[in-house]
């Protein structure tokens, strides 16, 4: 009951809070979205769902998908993962090239684009049918077997992937990407185009609120230590150069995407997803972050 009241209050307070940012324009298909869309969903470990606003509207999850690919790859690689990618905040934009040369093609963390490309590269090597296997994984997490890629957004991003292709080629020059860069971009742009609503997104992050188990099915996705580590990476790196500010304001592990989604986890309790497509200068949904800040403030609970 308390959750319902809180998210309805937040929805009401923020429903007209628009015009302070821009939808992602560098992926042409993304710029077609209604900038004023606004949905919130809380999914609890007890199986309750509380939503406000446009919680049924689908959007592409973009960089939020990096948590799913990381979970799939770390399952196979264990600690060897840290030979190919770091686990420190970068303090740079999500698509920056700046640290890569000095750090010899080992990206600072798995959530900046360079790091995510390395992870997706290993996904392609480790799994028979990476695009299908990723979809199967996300369908299991969300409990919705109908989830799919948004082909229009995927193709639009592939066509305009100059920067990500540059990152992939650069990292490959250091030997830290094994597959063909163009094929890698194809897989990466598909993962970013997974289309979900806030209800599906909140549900699919519940495994990180429950120590690695999908609460609705009891299926174990990863160990408790791995779940702790994924949450820690989200807290320190999940919002790129805004991760410190997000931790300060919201106080939860979180992950954002340029589709306007932001998801956060209260371990032991719930996951919450917000969708609002206008982005701030860091490429994060400013209203999404504002909503999450109010959520932990009104609830009086965070990881701190």
Is 66 annotated as catalytic?
Answer: yes
Question: By C-beta, is 49 or 166 nearer to ligand GLN?
Answer: 166
Residue 164 interacting with ligand GLN (CB under 6 A): yes
Shortest Å, Cβ 47 to ligand GLN: 29
CB of 283 to ligand GLN, least distance (A): 5
C-alpha dihedral over 8, 234, 200, 147, to 10 degrees?
150
In the annotation, is 188 catalytic? yes
248 catalytic residue (yes or no): no
- Report the distance separating Cα 177 and Cα 63, nearest Å: 19
CB 119 within 8 A of CB 85: yes
Q: Does the footprint of ligand GLN cover residue 192 (CB under 6 A)?
A: yes
Per CB under 6 A, which of residues 61..120 are in contact with ligand GLN?
Answer: 62-63, 94-95, 113
183-to-16, 188, 205, 254 alpha-carbon distances in Å: 42, 9, 28, 29
Catalytic residue check, 96: no
Determine whether 262 is an active site residue.
no
Distance CA 170, CA 95 (A): 13
DSSP single-letter state for residue 46 = T
Helix (H), strand (E) at residue 195: strand 194-196
Q: Which is nearer to ligand GLN, 186 or 302 (CB)?
A: 186
Q: Which residue's Cβ has the minimum distance to ligand GLN? A: 63
CB closer to ligand GLN, 63 vs 142: 63
Q: Is the dihedral of CA 192, 195, 198, 199 positive or negative?
A: negative
Q: Which residues pair with 44 in a beta bridge?
A: 270
Where on the chain is the footprint of ligand GLN (CB under 6 A)?
62-63, 94-95, 113, 157, 164, 192, 257-258, 283
Catalytic residues: 63, 66, 188, 240, 258
């Amino acid at each position: 009951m308390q959750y319902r009241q809180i998210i309805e209050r937040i929805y009401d307070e923020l429903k007209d809070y628009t015009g302070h940012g821009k939808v992602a324009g560098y992926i042409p298909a993304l710029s077609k979205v209604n900038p004023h869309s606004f949905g919130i969903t809380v999914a609890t470990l007890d199986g309750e769902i509380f939503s406000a606003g446009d919680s049924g509207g689908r959007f592409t999850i973009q960089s939020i998908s990096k948590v799913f690919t990381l979970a799939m790859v770390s399952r196979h690689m264990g600690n060897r993962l840290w030979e190919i990618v770091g686990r420190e905040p970068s303090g740079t934009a999500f698509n920056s090239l700046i640290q890569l040369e000095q750090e010899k093609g080992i990206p600072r963390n798995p959530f900046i684009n360079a790091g995510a490309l390395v992870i997706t590269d290993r996904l392609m090597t480790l799994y028979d049918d990476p695009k299908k296997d990723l979809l199967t994984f996300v369908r299991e997490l969300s409990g919705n077997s109908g989830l799919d890629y948004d082909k229009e957004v995927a193709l639009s991003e592939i066509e305009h992937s100059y920067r990500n292709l540059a990152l992939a080629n650069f990292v490959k020059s250091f030997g830290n990407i094994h597959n063909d860069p163009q094929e890698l971009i194809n897989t990466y742009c598909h993962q970013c185009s997974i289309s979900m609503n806030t209800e599906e997104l909140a549900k699919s992050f519940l495994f990180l609120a429950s120590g690695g188990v999908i609460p609705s099915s009891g299926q174990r996705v990863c160990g408790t230590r791995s779940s702790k580590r994924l949450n820690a990476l989200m807290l320190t790196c999940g919002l790129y150069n805004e991760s410190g500010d997000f931790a300060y304001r919201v106080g939860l592990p979180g992950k954002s995407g340029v589709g306007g989604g932001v998801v956060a986890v209260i371990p032991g309790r719930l996951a919450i997803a917000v969708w609002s497509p206008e982005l701030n200068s860091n490429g994060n949904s400013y209203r999404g972050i504002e909503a999450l800040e109010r959520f932990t403030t009104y609830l009086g609970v965070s990881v701190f």
